[in-house]
A and B are shown apart, each in its own frame.
Chain A
């Protein structure tokens, strides 16, 4: 399954220096500090957990003092740093099918090469794999594969899918019961730390503050011009909260700084800041469905920048938690709230819910159209997206377009094809507008 991320970091020599705001620098510091903590976990006597972004129980893991690794994030960071291609081919040579998820193969390839993380520091072998089975079937196989190699403790949290489009009491109870009777006892056993529910509540109080500011940030794109890019820019907005920082004061501070910067941009009537510089005139407002490509992230974003296209909302920015319809972690009902969080992640929603959400974004963010970036690796997102495209077009009357790439496999990013497709799409939007005026 695909994941959130951090800021774009690939800066080929021929390209101009990336412009950064304070929040971007802060975000980079946070992410690097987590890699540093992981690299030094053994020396510091810390146990190490690994888990996934959708259904990431960060507050709970912090209750047991784990250093926290997110293999999806490791994979996408390797993609951004142009390391994933080799990892994937190494994994394929080791017997893994060319057909399956490239996040998994990047992770396994990284292991084959000695588990050196994206920042060049070594990543420790996890002491526990928390298999939060939220919205992606592949997760289960991924951690079984890691367990096969490292033989580490693995605990499954099965999160039922919202097949009927809602969270039932039965689903919630099932997740809570697993937390109480499986997950927490396992984490206690591995960490040697006794569970303290008040500590969990305290982390959740902190989470809520960051969640409020994250939602405000993402919804700032309702302004015209949008002060942010809700897809490319959002991947670094969601980085801290979707990874090892939700529930920490550092995350709260990051989102406060970010919010301040965006408020300033709104006051100044500015559009998003991109790696190429300030966005000029906002010509197109888009909603995007599907994760980005990481290996050519900056080139991909530039194709939008060049055309004056701003993404005002994306489903990908909800992959590690859907907060913009009111959900917040609830310190008064901590375990139930963790269950609801897991159950509510974007890819755990059924198709009618996903389509409703996109149509709502199209309306509320006054978008000109929908773009689907269909990812080869990620069936959870991708299987059936062509129906999403048709339904959204039918319901909104706005044009939709479809491009294909992959998360971290550079073999599946065809810049020329994607650029052509995007240019045609923007033409289509322009023609639709012109037709509407006549």
Chain B
């Protein structure tokens, strides 16, 4: 299988806003169910353990015209809730049997209630996650939250979810996370072999494919990319941050790369890489998921930093471990978490003399020239500084 084969398949999945892959998965075995989830994180293991397909809903991208969705939002609200509503109101999400709205910001939180009103026949869950990271406080609460979801999904399928099923699903997602860690490590080592415009598509495929199939696809991509002959360029190595919810258009990622940047780490679709290492597939599965969430998960602006000294450390680590030379803050317009976080992160980067640049986008941003110019100037300045 060639890189073109893998990426071509991923691109087709990415562009299909009618979720035919999910429809086919459901049609293959009568009675199958699919549950949608929004950014940033839900424990997909529980959905999988119920025999259901977790489906990542990351907005409508730049190819879908939003008409009905716009009628629900003022001009100062970001775009992802509009396009998500558009997907729902135009029947594109009829294939889903439920939707999970994780705790990320006030907009997505409110969307959960809107969904309850607009899609009364669907299972809708606002999924709260703790902002207290003690096992005996936030952990206990989180286990109870997961237990509620487990019971809900058990009812939906007509049979409780067992611990063994959960442990098996944890093992499946451990494999998936390992593959993705390998992919990210490979890209950081050889970004010219695995451009982010491709890696991104490989990631997005995981939104609609079963995890077992996605893991294989990731492995296939790494193998195929590694045998490609691709030119190494004198690009700047950058970490991209702020794009954890509403996604940038693919053309924006390509523009950054074309402007002379290798993206060596990012926060796209964090759900797949949220847990930083393996979750033990033994013992109490919900407690293990909780511990992983509390103590071994990614950092992002929707999570509280308990101490001032914690602020920015995750980003610095991303820069350091991936030999990053700079940071691009790319946040969606009107994204409160990302935009409020940004000055604090910039302060930390400045302290450690890590160069950065910042811009905003929407998922349907069409004009790429300014982005290309800014990213190009940033890359040039990094190269000039490093040469000095």
Contacts and interface: CB of A to CB of B under 8 A. Distances in A.
Given A101-B336, A145-B344, A158-B138, A133 B113 contact: no
A207 to B, nearest CB: 26
B117 A158 contact: no
B71 A100 contact: no
B137 A350 contact: no
Contacts of B73: 383-384, 386
Nearest to B340: A141
B314 interface: no
Interface stretch (B204-212, B219-227, B300-308, B364-372): B300-308
Interface in A297-354: 350-354
B169 interface: no
A261 interface: no
A158 B131 contact: yes
Contacts of B131: 133, 140, 156, 158
B116 A144 contact: no
Interface string B337-352: 1011111101100000
A170 B141 contact: yes
Interface string A110-150: 00000000000000000000010100111011101101100
B368 to A, nearest CB: 21
B107 interface: yes
Contacts of A354: 113
Interface stretch (B39-47, B74-82, B182-190, B231-239): B74-82
A396 interface: no
A387 interface: yes
A156 B308 contact: no
A253 interface: no
A182 interface: yes
Given A137-B109, A351-B110, A156 B306 contact: yes
A101 B339 CA distance: 10
A177 interface: yes
A158 B145 CA distance: 14
Contacts of A173: 140-141
A178 B132 contact: yes
Interface stretch (A236-244, A374-382, A428-436): A374-382
5 contacts: A156-B304, A163-B113, A384-B73, A386-B72, A386-B74
Interface of B: 71-74, 76-77, 81, 101, 103-107, 109-114, 116-118, 125-128, 130-132, 134, 136-138, 140-141, 144-145, 148, 301-302, 304-306, 308, 311, 333-337, 339-344, 346-347, 360
Interface of A: 94-97, 99-101, 104, 131, 133, 136-138, 140-142, 144-145, 147-148, 151, 154, 156, 158, 160-161, 163-164, 170-171, 173-174, 177-178, 181-182, 350-355, 374, 376, 379-380, 382-387, 391, 404
